[in-house]
Amino acid sequence: MKTKYASLTCCILSTIIFLFFFNIDCTGQSIALTSNGTSSYKIIASRQSSSTYATAQSLSNFIKQISGATVPVSDDDIQPQEKEIIIGNNKHINALHLNIDLSKVKDNECIIKTFGNTILLYGRNDSDAIDCVYWFLQKYLGCNMLSSEVTIVPNTKNITLTAINDDYTPPFTYRDLYYKDTYDSMYTKFNRIDHFDAGGQNRKWGEIWSASFNYVIPAKKYFSTHPEYFALNEKGKRIPNQLNVSDEGMFNEYIKNFTNLMKRYPNSKIWSVAPNDASVPNYCHCPQCETINKREGTPMGALLTFVNKVAAKFPDKIITTQAYMFYEEPPKTIKPAPNVLIVEAGSYLLNHAVPYETSNEPDVVTYRRRLEGWLALTDKVRIWDYVTNYFYLMCPFPNLEVQQKNLQYFARLGIKDVFIQGNIAKGGDMSELRAWLLARLLWNPNINYDNTMDYFLNHYYGKAGPFIKEYISLSTSSLLKSGIPLTVHDSVSKHSTGFLSSNSLAQYNQIFDNAEKAVKDNPGQLDRVKTARLSLMYATLETNKALTAKNKSNVSALSSADNKSMQDLLEEFVQICKKHNIVVLSKDTPTVESYQADFSKHVK
């Protein structure tokens, strides 16, 4: 009897041990991923996915940088062991009997979960699994990539984790940021960003991603021989810069040319069919177009009719068009075809100092009405938002605080795709902070905004971080107090009685003087502070140029610590720009050199 009970007891104990290691979520157990610079873990990823396997190797490299420990990467055909980091869909999930129902996991869902000493980083597809790895590195291992040149990696020989049960689906399935740094390949992965034009032959968007009419039916080729292809203006004259979207001959030629374009990027899923950019209404007024537009109450009527016809010819593609400028108003009866994506780009001319959801300004109220009108017609709506000054890239643009509220608004509406157009040229108003903060908000619009900003400022600028935050807060409150709208084409002079007044500039310059002093013994951080100051230097130079022209006499720099002359400040500004390969400053002065030459004519 004793032998029988002993055998039963042994069997029960074995079952408990198995369940303990492989099936039960041990919420109170700590996990020693590395100990004193060594590790008994392996990272398991299937070689059948080269991208996931490469990401596993990247995780291994980061763990080594943190702790000095080597955690080898193996294919999922080796014998399973308890201490593994399992990435993505592979054989070891079933082999270790992990207690998880993968059939319930959805696209874009990221799961970080521990089972005893086993760590699972799971996404349903390769893209989600890769996102999961970098989310794990960021959230649990403390790594961050703040810019293409600044990566935060902790230094500890002992990486200890508590039990994890994290399951997150970001509200935005497409998160695109148009900043220079975000096109660094590691930055893109680390901050979980999409790009419409990256990936070579496998890029998501085809060769055309915005205004496309002239690209497919170029006026130089067709206008003289087929004027009927082109729009009829209100005076009854054909114009070469827009198409007649009701002309059947043009449609047939468009399909032929579009088909040939798609052959250059056959793997691209998304293609744009959108009017050429225009600052004044130039859509077609021929009888056919006018009939549709009057019935639908918008020029989008004839355009969407055309876009739906194109989409019908390419059922395996997603055809996009832009609700932009004269085409923002949704039609009354026409709905986008199932494979048509509406790109809502109506925020371009709005006041970017106020949240879209709560502003009572007429233009913003109209924007909300139109956006929600589109969502009533289709769930396939992509936001194209604008977050910087496109005419004057170096001009201060204090609109960071509204970004969280705007993205929360889009998420509440059920928007899944967001493209944020920032400054693709190197430089601009604190582009590194903007890009990183926006990436965090695109991943999770409900993060603690202040804590997230503080993290960046304190790690990127060191002891100067609190001063940079003081500048951001003061410039933002000064803008709101002024009541002057903030738009994407504002010159410094527009805000000369508001947040860029002489007194305000003097205050900002004093704050930056203090910031530079705080990091004077750290060359790297000092250089970043000086680079962040460029937009303030630009505003100071522009203000003094205007004052000099008005007073016909030279004006000294506004409250600069060592009382630089304007020429000295200009020289320093140009040197910093050149050091960091910052070339483009504004629409009217395309290069730093041309700005320097133009400025010197005004201030001598």
State the pLDDT at residue 320. Answer: 97
The answer to whether position 454 is within a domain reads no
What pLDDT, on a 0 to 100 scale, did the predictor assign at position 11? 39
Structural domain contains residue 220: yes
Specify the pLDDT at position 551.
67
Looking at the predicted structure, is the pLDDT value of residue 29 above 90? no
Residues contacting 216, CB < 8 A, separation 6+: 208, 254, 257, 258, 261
- Quote the pLDDT of residue 21: 37
Instruction: Count structural domains, the chain.
Output: 3
Claim to verify: residue 156 and residue 297 sit in the same structural domain: no
User: Could you report the per-residue pLDDT of 217-274, keeping only the tens digit for each?
Assistant: 999 999 999 999 999 999 999 999 999 999 999 999 999 999 999 999 999 999 999 9
pLDDT 10s digits, 340-364: 999 999 999 999 999 999 999 999 9
For the record, the structure tokens of 552 come out as 């016909």
Whether 300 and 433 map to the same domain: the answer is yes
Checking phi first, is residue 131 left (phi over 0); if not, alpha (psi -120 to 50) or beta?
Answer: alpha
Is the pLDDT at 164 greater than 90, yes or no?
A: yes
Q: Is the pLDDT of residue 300 over 70?
A: yes
Q: Which pLDDT band, with edges at 50, 70 and 90, does 209 fall under?
A: confident
**In this structure, is residue 185 part of a structural domain?**
no
Q: Are residues 219 and 351 in the same domain?
A: yes
Residue 178 lies in a domain: no
Determine contact, residues 540/558, Cβ cutoff 8 Å.
yes
- Residue 141 in any domain: the answer is yes
Residues 436, 482, single domain; the answer is no
- Do 391 and 429 have their domain in common? yes
Do 282 and 212 share a structural domain? yes
Q: Which of 118, 150, 169 is the last residue of a domain?
A: 169
Q: Is residue 497 scored above 70 in pLDDT? A: yes
Domain finish residue from 416, 447, 478: 447
Statement to judge: residues 131 and 232 lie in one domain = no
The per-residue pLDDT for range 377-427, each reduced to its tens digit, is 999 999 999 999 989 999 999 999 999 999 999 999 999 999 999 988 899
* Phi, psi values for residue 444, rounded to 5°: -150, 100
DSSP conformation class of 68 = S
Q: Based on the domain organization, do 140 and 255 belong to the same domain?
A: no
Report pLDDT digits (tens) over 111-129: 999 999 999 999 999 999 9
Does residue 287 share a domain with residue 151? Answer: no
3-state secondary structure of 303: helix
Q: Residue 74's domain spans which residues?
A: 2-169
Residue 177 lies in a domain: no
Instruction: Answer yes or no: is pLDDT of 558 > 80.
Output: no
Kindly report the average pLDDT of the chain as a whole number: 91
Q: Is residue 180 part of a domain?
A: no
Residue at 184 is within a domain = no
Residue 266 and residue 236 share a domain? yes
Please report, rounded to a whole number, the percentage of residues in the chain having pLDDT higher than 90: 81
408 and 507 share one domain:
no
Same domain, 443 and 473: no
**Residue range 23-40: average pLDDT?**
78
CATH, residue 22 = 3.30.379.10
E-assigned strand segments in 37-106: 42-44, 73-74, 84-87
Residue 26 has pLDDT above 70, yes or no: no
